[in-house]
Amino acid sequence: MRAVVQRVKEASVHVNGVVIGAIQAGLLVLLGVDENDADPDVRYIADKVAEMRIFRDEDGKFNRSVEEAGGAVLVVSQFTLHGDCRRGRRPSFSRAARPEKAIPLYESVVSALRARGLTVATGEFGAMMDVHIINDGPVTLLLDSEKQF
């Protein structure tokens, strides 16, 4: 499972011009599910997102998690995170999980974050989405449950 995590001042997802998910300060998580992902990958990503200390404390240091900062999380599915661009000009998405596997795992990440008491908004799995963000910093981090980076 892969995630691009961005600290944001605000973020929203629009489908057909309608806002379907929005947050104020917190994290935007673009989430890609691999064909081999399972529950341990869900726990790894949810724990990392909730506990990463990337919000400033009173001294301006990165010492607060989104939980501690009182922020929200917007989770948006993005299968293209598993695009392999090593050969040719067209990415291969063969490692991206098919919807019947990806949707339950995506929803499990959302549920795990909510179970921690976080406010979580979502995009619409499989839809063409417009994602609007105002980066904070910018702070952008990459997560991979296989720890490839």
Q: What is the 3-state secondary structure (H, E, C) of the chain?
A: CEEEEEEEEEEEEEECCEEEEEECCEEEEEEECECCCCHHHHHHHHHHHHHCCCEECCCCCEEECHHHHCCEEEEEECHHHHCECCCCCCCECCCECCHHHHHHHHHHHHHHHHHCCCCEEECCCCCCCEEEEEEEEEEEEEEECCCCC
| Interval 12-48: pLDDT, tens | 999 999 999 999 999 999 999 999 999 999 999 999 9
Residue 78 is a catalytic residue: yes
Q: Which of 6, 78, 122, 125 is catalytic?
A: 78
- The confidence band for 148, taking pLDDT boundaries of 50, 70 and 90, is confident
CATH numbers and ranges of domains, the chain:
2-144 (3.50.80.10)
Residue 93 is a catalytic residue: no
Residue 79 is a catalytic residue: yes
Task: Return mean pLDDT, the chain.
Answer: 97
Q: Which of 6, 55, 62, 79 is catalytic?
A: 79
